[in-house]
């Protein structure tokens, strides 16, 4: 059998090499006796280029799609007479008789008329332009792709790039502070998708996984967004959900500029302090050879929110009335949070391009920064009588930076493009200050009236019934500093060679490769002072002089009380209209004086204490949180591929290809151990992954796309692709934290033995289109994922369960938290419906209606491992055994249904748009034992409205209005199918009024 397989592989390799040789010979011979056709497709009225136009020679397999600049190239056309046909949805088809001569290039620019044009003065309406561009770019793609066009983005821009992407089919977003933050594609978590800027990959903005925040990018600097859902061999193979490419264009001919400014109102903070300023300038120099485009943005938005949340426990002995298979859940505690958040975004791009006789060079530069200042106050009230609270003051700065030197060249009939890029992501938190408050020892924090059964109540009733004792102490101050940096240097080279075997059989061979070096480092440090539980803290409090207490606003005699919580309380703290007054809760039980928190931190950092002759810092570094999350990661990845598009007549195109990727990882982290019961009884040792397991891999990815166009108005696409999921940075880390003083002992440990997960993907899509229908698409997708990586928690004495990475005590079981590869296959399936149309053919004022609607249904199934225990025997010799099992559930972050609908209206110089988004519930966390404790978001909907009016006094001047979250819909989360409230968060409505000027 092995000999047979070897012979089969050799035979296949021979056939493949013979095919490549045939293409090279064919390309060389035909280049000597064929001609080329080049040109630009433009809008006749405006002169603007039309991207995605379908240009082909009737009755042959020769054709091309126009680029973003409207340019098209048809190569290696045998000499003779042809009818060249140019099609663009929304425009009148054009047929031109041409003659192609051997060894020459025919230059032919084409102007198309808008289908509704009756005179030269009529232009396409504002929103219709963006819709038409997106439709044609989607149809001209060689894969399954959705597009947000430049005109759609610039016409009425969203608050950030995530919101712009979210209107496409199959896309849902993870929100933060009421605005979109990360993108989920086809129900697959953000970490399973790839984000790019002009084809250069953005680095992760998360500490632990590979996801990227898009809320840090304002869409004003973008010239388009593409979401590719089925991979071709020239794309990175780890985009299991999809690849989102944010495009920044280059300078058009002549001088262009665009500026905007807006101010806004946020109802949650009742503030008018929101603003945004943006601009773009471009021009071309030296006979239009050098293009320069500069863009930038600066904004400030309040993202306050109010949160009510609850935790529920499962009573194993009681069942609900809904059925014996559902366990009763009872209230464990309720929390209330007041979060004051201010976010500032700043960034921009510089794009230089230079036209050469044989191609073009680009220098793309893009930077974006999101800075956040936040104050958070949290109260936790427990049904067992406990109470805790905390307050945090934090600053965060996330920066992404991409720069790339790229080129596109034509040498005879051979095309070549390259990219040399550097991509950086930085996450920096200079010092998050936190103060924790708890109950006095032996005292009750939460006072529950006699006869009131707290566990059987709802959170709002519970909070409005109880009261909180004043016997509270400050239990801990700590300050966390975090610095996460990732960079990637990439070199990429591609070649394209056109070929044809006859008039009805032609195509393009594409091959190339890339090399990427990644480096990522996380460094965390935490300082602390525990005034009432740690000796150093007690000494510090005693040594504080009278003047210090005065600085804190306290009387000197107050120090005799120790650090009581009321000393840091603020009676004037105002939480405003908490939860928008809709949840019946208006009381906070502890509200802090954050100025005193900062004073205490400063004093503690500046002082030392003498403990029996040993000098300690009053704010020492805490070993465990300062080492447990530190790591240094580097990876080298090389890839090469070969693919072709083979046109068989006008109606069938094949896109077969294969990709090879090879990677190796170097990784160091820390083994932190608690070796004693005291606060400083920790030690850390640096570990390198090479001493545990070598992390590398080689993978082949066959990709096949088929496009069939049996009719002028029908496009059918089939795809079979393979992709990969690399483990999260945290999951594959060699880190470990062991605490033998817990009962039972606990071990948090990464798993360098993890394998990448492999996904086999299938897509079937059909599109119907013409000038009246617009574009209607229906598609089905299906994925099978092997070796999916999930978190796992279990108890054991057996070190083999953690690949013998360290010894475990044999006297009792150790609680393990780690990651594993699932043995079971996971499945994702769903269908998408999408309709984009413009009612230009309706009478009178109705022809200004532009309509977009898409619906996605998704289902998935994966396994979640869990462990149960069982006692065997009775009395002192009873033995506890652990039973490993698993249960089925859907994938995290996957909604069942997504609906997006937008109705726009253009009339003369006025344009308006009303948008509706519905997102069904999403699984956000999985309980390791009981599905009754799984957490879901509630189904949510959101209404947004935008209007824009051109002003008659100055050409190019416009005023616009944005109203987001009109009905102030909160985000709700529930526990289990019983819909026990997990949390409700209100963000409020925001309104922006702005002006744009373009010349």
Dump pLDDT digits (tens) for 379-405: 999 999 999 999 999 999 999 999 999
Averaged pLDDT for residues 874-880: 73
Is residue 500 over pLDDT 90?
no
Three-state secondary structure of 778-814: EEEEEEEEECCEEEEEEEECCHHHHCCCCCCCCCCCE
Band the pLDDT of 122: cuts 50, 70, 90: very low
199 within some domain: no
Sign of CA dihedral 456, 460, 461, 463: positive
Residue 7: per-residue pLDDT = 47
Q: Which long-range contacts (CB under 8 A, 24 or more apart) does 798-805 make?
A: 802/747, 802/749, 802/751, 803/693, 803/751, 803/753, 805/692, 805/736, 805/749
Residue at token pair 């190239």: 73
Identify whether the C-beta of residue 854 lies closer than 8 Å to the C-beta of residue 169. Answer: yes
If we measure between CA atoms, which residue out of 890, 736, 958, 806 comes closest to residue 259?
958
Q: Which residues, in sequence order, are CB contacts of 874 under 8 Å at separation 6+? A: none
Q: Which token pair is 132?
A: 């038409």
Tell which of 69, 104, 122 closes a domain.
122
DSSP character at residue 887: E
Sign of CA dihedral 546, 552, 554, 558: negative
CB atoms within 10 A of CB 783: 23
Residue 319: per-residue pLDDT = 41
For residues 126 and 113, give the distance between their C-alpha atoms in angstroms, rounded to a whole number.
16
420 within some domain: yes
Residue at token pair 């040109």: 39
DSSP character at residue 114: B
If we measure between CA atoms, which residue out of 68, 79, 67, 64 comes closest to residue 31?
79
Q: What is the CATH number of the domain that holds 70?
A: 2.60.40.1120
Strand partners, 843: none
Round the average pLDDT of the chain to a whole number and report it.
88
Angle at 802 between CA 796 and CA 806, to 5 degrees: 95
The domain tally of the chain equals 2
Q: Are residues 261 and 114 in the same domain?
A: no
Residue 84: per-residue pLDDT = 96
DSSP character at residue 363: E
Band the pLDDT of 8: cuts 50, 70, 90: very low
224 within some domain: no
Q: What is the CATH number of the domain that holds 747?
A: 2.40.170.20
For residues 781 and 720, give the distance between their C-alpha atoms in angstroms, rounded to a whole number.
10
Averaged pLDDT for residues 299-316: 87
For residues 785 and 342, give the distance between their C-alpha atoms in angstroms, rounded to a whole number.
40
Q: Are residues 114 and 260 in the same domain?
A: no
Identify whether the C-beta of residue 522 lies closer than 8 Å to the C-beta of residue 541. Answer: no
Band the pLDDT of 736: cuts 50, 70, 90: very high
Band the pLDDT of 308: cuts 50, 70, 90: very high
For residues 359 and 131, give the distance between their C-alpha atoms in angstroms, rounded to a whole number.
30
Chain-centroid distance of CA 398 in Å reads 14
If we measure between CA atoms, which residue out of 640, 789, 724, 782 comes closest to residue 238?
724
177 within some domain: no
Q: Which token pair is 85?
A: 């046909």
Using alpha carbons, list the distances in angstroms from residue 353 to 292, 361, 509, 696, 988: 7, 5, 27, 38, 44
Sign of CA dihedral 199, 203, 206, 208: positive
If we measure between CA atoms, which residue out of 754, 786, 772 comes closest to residue 837?
772
If we measure between CA atoms, which residue out of 686, 716, 722, 730 comes closest to residue 704?
722
Residue 20: per-residue pLDDT = 58
165 within some domain: no
185 within some domain: no
Band the pLDDT of 530: cuts 50, 70, 90: confident
The answer to which of 184-193, 458-467, 575-584, 848-857 has the lowest mean pLDDT is 575-584
Q: Model confidence over 930-945: pLDDT tens digits? A: 777 788 899 989 999 9
307 within some domain: yes
Identify whether the C-beta of residue 439 lies closer than 8 Å to the C-beta of residue 384. Answer: no
Tell which of 59, 94, 122 closes a domain.
122
Tell which of 93, 122, 151 closes a domain.
122
For residues 715 and 708, give the distance between their C-alpha atoms in angstroms, rounded to a whole number.
6
Is residue 143 over pLDDT 90?
yes
For residues 86 and 95, give the distance between their C-alpha atoms in angstroms, rounded to a whole number.
7
For residues 306 and 270, give the distance between their C-alpha atoms in angstroms, rounded to a whole number.
13
Greater model confidence, 880 or 794: 794
Q: Model confidence over 434-493: pLDDT tens digits? A: 999 998 777 788 999 999 999 999 999 999 999 998 888 888 899 999 999 999 999 999
Using alpha carbons, list the distances in angstroms from residue 439 to 12, 443, 475, 693: 74, 6, 9, 46
Q: Are residues 921 and 775 in the same domain?
A: yes
DSSP character at residue 789: E
Q: Which residues, in sequence order, are CB contacts of 868 under 8 Å at separation 6+? A: 882, 883, 885, 929
Band the pLDDT of 542: cuts 50, 70, 90: low
pLDDT more than 70, % of the chain: 91
Identify whether the C-beta of residue 850 lies closer than 8 Å to the C-beta of residue 836. Answer: no
Q: Model confidence over 545-567: pLDDT tens digits? A: 555 556 655 555 555 555 778 77
Domain that holds residue 60: 33-122
Strands 63-65 vs 256-266: parallel, antiparallel or unpaired:
unpaired
Q: Which token pair is 96?
A: 């031109």
């Amino acid at each position: 059998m092995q000999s047979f397989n070897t012979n089969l592989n050799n035979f296949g390799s021979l056939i493949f090499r013979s095919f490549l040789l045939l293409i090279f010979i064919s390309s060389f011979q035909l280049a000597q006796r064929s001609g080329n056709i080049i040109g630009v497709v433009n809008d006749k009225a405006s002169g603007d280029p039309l991207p995605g136009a379908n240009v082909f020679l009737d009755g042959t397999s020769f054709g091309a799609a126009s680029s973003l600049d409207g340019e098209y190239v048809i190569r290696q056309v045998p000499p003779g007479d042809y009818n060249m046909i140019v099609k663009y949805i929304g425009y009148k088809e054009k047929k031109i008789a041409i003659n192609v001569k051997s060894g020459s290039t025919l230059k032919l620019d084409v102007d198309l008329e808008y289908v509704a044009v009756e005179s030269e003065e009529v232009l396409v309406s504002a929103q219709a332009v963006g819709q038409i561009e997106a439709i044609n770019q989607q149809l001209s793609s060689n894969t399954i792709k959705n597009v947000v066009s430049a005109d759609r983005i610039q016409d009425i821009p969203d608050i950030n790039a995530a919101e712009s992407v979210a209107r496409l089919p199959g896309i849902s977003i993870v929100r933060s502070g009421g605005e979109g933050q990360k993108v989920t594609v086809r129900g697959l978590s953000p970490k399973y998708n790839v984000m790019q800027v002009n084809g250069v990959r953005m680095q992760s903005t998360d500490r632990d996984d590979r996801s990227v925040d898009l809320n840090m990018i304002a869409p004003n600097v973008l010239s388009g967004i593409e979401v590719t859902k089925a991979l071709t061999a020239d794309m990175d193979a780890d985009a299991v959900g999809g690849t989102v490419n944010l495009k920044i264009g280059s300078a058009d001919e002549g001088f262009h500029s665009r500026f905007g400014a807006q101010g806004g109102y946020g109802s949650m903070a009742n503030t008018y302090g929101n603003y945004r300023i943006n601009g773009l300038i471009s021009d071309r120099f030296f006979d239009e050879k050098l293009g320069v485009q500069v863009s930038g943005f600066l904004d400030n938005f309040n993202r306050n929110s109010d949160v009510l949340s609850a935790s529920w426990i499962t009573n194993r002995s009681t069942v609900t009335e809904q059925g014996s298979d559902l366990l009763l859940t009872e209230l464990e505690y309720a929390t209330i949070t007041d979060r004051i958040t201010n976010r500032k975004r700043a960034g921009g791009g510089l794009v230089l391009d230079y036209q050469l006789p044989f191609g073009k060079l680009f220098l793309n530069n893009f930077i974006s920064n999101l800075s956040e200042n936040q104050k958070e106050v949290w109260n936790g009230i427990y049904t067992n009588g406990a109470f805790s609270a905390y307050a945090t003051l934090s600053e965060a700065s996330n920066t992404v930076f991409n720069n790339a030197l790229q080129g596109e060249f034509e040498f005879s009939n051979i095309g070549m493009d390259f990219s040399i890029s550097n991509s950086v992501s930085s996450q920096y938190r200079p010092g998050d200050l936190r103060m924790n408050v708890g109950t006095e020892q032996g005292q009750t924090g939460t006072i529950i009236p006699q006869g009131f059964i707290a566990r059987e109540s709802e959170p709002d009733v519970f909070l409005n019934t109880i009261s909180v004792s004043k016997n509270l102490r400050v239990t801990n101050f700590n300050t966390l500093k975090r610095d996460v940096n990732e960079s990637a240097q990439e070199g990429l080279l591609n070649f394209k060679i056109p070929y044809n075997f006859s008039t009805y059989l032609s195509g393009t061979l594409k091959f190339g490769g890339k090399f990427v070096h990644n480096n990522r480092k996380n460094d965390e440090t935490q300082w602390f002072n525990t005034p009432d539980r740690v000796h150093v803290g007690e000494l510090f409090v005693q040594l504080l002089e009278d003047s210090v207490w005065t600085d804190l606003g306290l009387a000197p005699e107050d120090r005799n009380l120790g650090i009581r919580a009321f000393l840091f309380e603020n009676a004037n703290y105002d939480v405003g209209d908490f939860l928008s007054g809709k949840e019946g809760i208006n009381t906070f039980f502890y509200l802090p004086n954050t100025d005193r928190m900062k004073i205490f931190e400063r004093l503690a950092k500046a002082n030392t204490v003498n403990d029996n002759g040993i000098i300690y810092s009053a704010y020492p570094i805490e070993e465990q949180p300062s080492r447990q999350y530190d790591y240094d990661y580097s990876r080298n990845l090389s890839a090469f591929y070969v693919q072709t598009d083979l046109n068989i007549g006008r109606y069938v195109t094949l896109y077969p290809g294969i990709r090879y990727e090879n990677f190796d990882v170097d990784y160091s982290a820390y083994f932190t151990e608690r070796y004693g019961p005291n606060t400083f009884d920790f030690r850390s040792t640096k570990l390198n992954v090479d001493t545990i397991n070598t992390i590398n891999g080689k993978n082949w990815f066959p990709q096949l796309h088929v496009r069939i166009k049996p009719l002028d108005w029908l496009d059918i696409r089939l795809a079979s692709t393979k992709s990969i999921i690399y483990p999260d940075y945290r999951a594959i880390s060699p880190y470990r934290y062991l605490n033998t003083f817990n009962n039972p002992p606990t071990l948090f440990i990464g798993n360098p033995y993890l394998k990448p997960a492999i996904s086999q993907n299938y897509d079937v899509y059909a599109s119907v289109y013409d000038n009246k229908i617009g574009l209607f698409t229906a598609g089905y997708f299906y994925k099978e994922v092997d070796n999916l990586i999930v978190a796992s928690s279990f108890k054991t004495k057996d070190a083999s369960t953690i690949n013998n990475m360290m010894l475990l005590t044999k006297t009792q079981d150790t609680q393990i938290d780690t990651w594993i590869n699932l043995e079971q296959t996971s499945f994702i399936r769903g269908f998408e419906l999408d309709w984009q149309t413009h009612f230009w053919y309706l009478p009178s004022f109705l022809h200004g209606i532009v309509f977009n609607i898409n619906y996605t249904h998704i289902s998935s199934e994966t396994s979640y491992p869990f462990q149960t225990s069982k006692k065997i025997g009775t009395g002192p010799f009873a033995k506890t055994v652990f039973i490993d099992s698993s249960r089925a559930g859907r994938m995290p972050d996957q909604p069942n249904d997504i609906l997006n609908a937008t109705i726009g209206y253009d009339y003369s110089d006025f344009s308006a748009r009303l948008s509706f988004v519905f997102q069904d519930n999403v699984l956000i966390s999985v309980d390791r034992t009981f599905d009754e404790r799984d957490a879901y978001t509630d189904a949510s909907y959101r209404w947004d409205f935008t209007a824009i009016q051109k002003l008659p006094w100055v050409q190019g001047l416009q005023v616009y209005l944005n109203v987001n979250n009109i009905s102030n819909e909160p985000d709700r989360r529930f526990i289990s199918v019983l819909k026990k409230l997990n949390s409700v968060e209100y963000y409020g409505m925001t309104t922006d009024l702005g002006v744009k000027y373009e010349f």
